[in-house]
Amino acid sequence: MTTTLKSPAPVLETAPTQAGDAATRPLTVALAGNPNAGKTSLFNALTGLRQKVANYPGVTVERKDGHWQLAPDLPDAQLIDLPGLYSLDANSIDEQIARDVITGRLTSVPKPDCIIAVVDATNLERNLYLATQLLETGRPLVVALTMIDLAERHKLEIDAARLSDALGVPVVPVVAKLRQGLDALAAAVLRAAESAPPVAGWRLSAEAERELEALAALDAPVNGDGITPTVAATTDAATTDVATDASARRYGALVELYAEELPEEAGHQAAVASARARLAEGNPRWWQEPLLARYNWIEGVARRTVRDHKPGRTRRTDRIDRFVTHRFFGPLILFALMLLILQTIFSWAQLPMDVIDGGFGRLGELVRATLAPGLLTDLLVDGVIAGVGGVLVFLPQILLLFFFISLLEDSGYMARAAFLMDRLMRGVGLHGKAFMPLLSSFACAIPGIMATRTIENPKDRLATILIAPFMSCSARLPVYTLMIAAFFSRQEKLLGVLSVGVVIIMAMYLLGIVVAVAVAWVLKHTILKSPPPPLVLELPPYRMPNPVNVLQTIRSRSWMFVRRAGTVILAISILLWALVTFPRVNAATGDADGGAAAATANATGSAPDERATTAGRDETVQPAAGASNVAEAVDGDAGEQIRQSYAGRLGHLIEPAIAPLGFDWKMGIGLVASFAARETLVSTLSIVYNVGEDATEESNSLIEAVRNARRADGSPAWTPLVAVSMMVFFVLACQCMSTIAIVRRETNSWRWPLFMVSYMLLLAYVASFITYQGGRLLGFS
């Protein structure tokens, strides 16, 4: 049966608030809607690449703004993508921010000139609840009806014109990925911004309405004669402003009357308490009246506007969920999917990684051949290019990781994964909502920790924050990849399909999960003891991922990685280069020499023995005869340079503590640097081995340098067992200053971040110790 979607009814024109106001200043438009209602797809379609992501002042709630061209001859509107919310009855920080932006309470954000309510056509009744509350605020409102294509496939017919009449606001059907209805939406927003505010179509009982009127009058403005102005008493130019103020006062009174707590204003507390007492005399369940009134009205609207041509059918989503959310098959499917993603990431990323690695290598050779030998050349080659290039080489893996995460989110599978993990979460005392923040932490712990704002219970939220860094984030991936490429890439595939590297990566991911579960159980049964509330989770219908959403996610997240490499990693790389370069070592005596003669010799590329010593990389100009002896001398001088440097001294200082883990002093330099950011281990080792005795022509890449590194006694510095010990340490240690800063902001205390760093470092040390010493007892090397 062919279904049709009727066009919305024309909007009733009213007197504009200020003639031509929209043409003289940019409008501010807020995009509000339920999670999974298509809000992000619509935002991306309206703004394209003209968007930015930041935080609201004072909190870590993500703020996404964009520029939206409403008309060619008008300035671009500021479009604000609010956090997803089901109602304005705020329980979490996200919902509080969204409500405050909508009502104009957040002074850092302009009060919206118009609100777009994003309503899912396949779940009209549930989505209309938020729309009814937005109507009550008195702000100009336009309804964007999304998921129209899905509704048609489900044989749902929605009369948009009749829905518009019922709501009293424009209703515009849109299909974001096909860009259908976007021009009509822009025109509706322009009209709504200059029209009279909408009025909610439902009303409470006569007694409740009288109480609301009396409470609203407490904040009503008065003129010089002591009379409250009304719409009838105003001019056309001020009609809308007065009506908007009246609607806002009524909404404020409604919130105060039916909130759990009394209002903060002393003058309102007595009035609200008296009003509640009078309502309770006539109706013991008076507090349920707004909820019931809204849903009764919504049910009536849905009956008049929605026709289901196939009632009682089994939808495709339900058929798929019989297997995907099955008690036995569901977890197996989830595990297999994660394994497939990891295998694909490693397989597809290898070629572009080799290209990037070779490109940075050739760039370093070009710079060294172009510039004269000296400190500047060494800074650029061994500090900047080697440090930043050693991290950017893993960009293909980061891109693929976020590609698959975006596919899972946009298809609707992520919610199923949370549902499957709820039993495990509750088994250790965590809230079921903890799964989504923990899953986000596999990409980066920072957004994962920020996502805990959806958890209402403070103890559940704190427990989730404290274990989120155990999830193997994308910053650990370069470390895992380096260790696997150096020691496990030549192993035969298991069962002829899975590479050993993928199995090791999966083991590292599972180790972090197991330890996180164990720590959560301990926390929830000791210092954070509290019963977890039941999980209420929406399972959105399965749908094809929107390519625009996927590309936007990849673009924004990969740019964050590149920006981090160009700022934090660059700064640390330059600092580390300086630490391994100074103080300069006198080639003749082997002593640290900070004198002017040594500095001059190195800067000019000349030395008394016709040898130019640069930042740990000696370039001989002696004859070819005896070149091997010269090379040995060069390597010895270079090794002495790093041993006498500030970084070398620091590595030697901590070497006794890390030696039981299988680490030497050079690895110690990398461990210290990685506490700023985990991925800096790669750039640190690039710098250390480029300036050490292992930097020969035969080991021109970091992987070869790691394989050929030697200790003082000539034994290999790195072995497969040392590599596994290093990976275990990185799984469990909290090595990210940004994560620590976010935990400090989220908990508003230094106590919890310091506690988190301390216990995670202790766990990492013990686990790495057991791994290395246990492996040696078992005969591994």
**Secondary structure, 3-state, 449-495:** HHHHHHCCCHHHHHHHHHHHHHCCCCCCHHHHHHHHHHHCCCCCCEC
Distance (Å, rounded) from C-alpha 244 to C-alpha 237? 13
Name the packing angle between helices 500-524 and 458-467 (round to 10°).
150
Q: Give which of 457, 422, 458, 459 is closest to 438, Cα–Cα.
A: 422
Residue type, 526: T
**For residues 474 and 677, is the Cβ–Cβ distance under 8 A?**
no
Give the DSSP letter of residue 696.
S
| pTM for the model | 0.61
Mean pLDDT, each 10-residue run in order, the chain (781 residues): 37 37 74 87 83 52 81 89 82 76 81 92 89 88 90 85 91 90 94 82 84 80 45 44 66 81 76 88 86 89 83 72 88 85 79 86 89 88 78 78 83 83 77 75 76 77 92 85 85 69 88 92 88 69 83 79 71 78 69 45 38 36 39 50 80 92 90 78 78 39 84 89 95 83 81 93 96 92 73
Q: What is the pLDDT of residue 429?
A: 79
Cα distances (Å, whole numbers) of residue 727 to 402, 439, 484, 681: 22, 20, 10, 11
- Cβ atoms < 10 Å from Cβ of 766: 12
| 2-193 to CATH, choices 3.30.2320.50, 3.40.50.300, 3.40.50.460, 2.102.10.10 | 3.40.50.300
Residue type, 671: L
Q: What is the pLDDT of residue 19?
A: 38
Scanning the structure block, which residue is given the tokens 């089994």? Answer: 314
Edge-first strand order for the sheet with 51-55 is 51-55, 62-68, 77-81, 28-33, 114-120, 141-146, 171-173
**For residues 134 and 115, is the Cβ–Cβ distance under 8 A?**
yes
Scanning the structure block, which residue is given the tokens 């609707």? Answer: 412
Strand partners, 158: 306
Q: What is the pLDDT of residue 191?
A: 92
CATH 3.40.50.300 in the chain, residue ranges = 2-193
Which structure tokens are listed for 233? Answer: 């008493």
Which structure tokens are listed for 774? Answer: 């246990």
Q: What is the pLDDT of residue 225?
A: 42
Q: What is the pLDDT of residue 670?
A: 85
Q: What contacts 49, CB < 8 A, 6 or more positions away? A: 555
| Cα–Cα–Cα angle for 112, 117, 123, rounded to 5 degrees | 165
Cα distances (Å, whole numbers) of residue 550 to 53, 399, 544, 554: 16, 11, 11, 6
Question: Which regions of 102-203 does DSSP assign to beta strands (E)?
Answer: 114-120, 141-146, 156-158, 171-173
Distance (Å, rounded) from C-alpha 337 to C-alpha 405? 11
Q: What is the pLDDT of residue 742?
A: 77
- Cβ atoms < 10 Å from Cβ of 493: 12
Q: What is the pLDDT of residue 141?
A: 93
Distance (Å, rounded) from C-alpha 206 to C-alpha 741? 52
Give the DSSP letter of residue 180.
B
Cα distances (Å, whole numbers) of residue 272 to 245, 261, 376: 20, 10, 72
Q: Taking every pair of C-alpha atoms in the chain, what is the biggest distance, in angstroms?
A: 108
Q: What is the pLDDT of residue 184?
A: 94
Q: Give which of 174, 148, 127, 180 is closest to 543, Cα–Cα.
A: 148
Q: What is the pLDDT of residue 412?
A: 84
**For residues 453 and 92, is the Cβ–Cβ distance under 8 A?**
yes
Q: What contacts 515, CB < 8 A, 6 or more positions away? A: 470, 731, 732, 763, 767
Q: What is the pLDDT of residue 593?
A: 54
Would the CA dihedral through 119, 122, 124, 125 be positive or negative? negative
**For residues 554 and 618, is the Cβ–Cβ distance under 8 A?**
no
Helix (H) and strand (E) counts in the chain: 33, 11
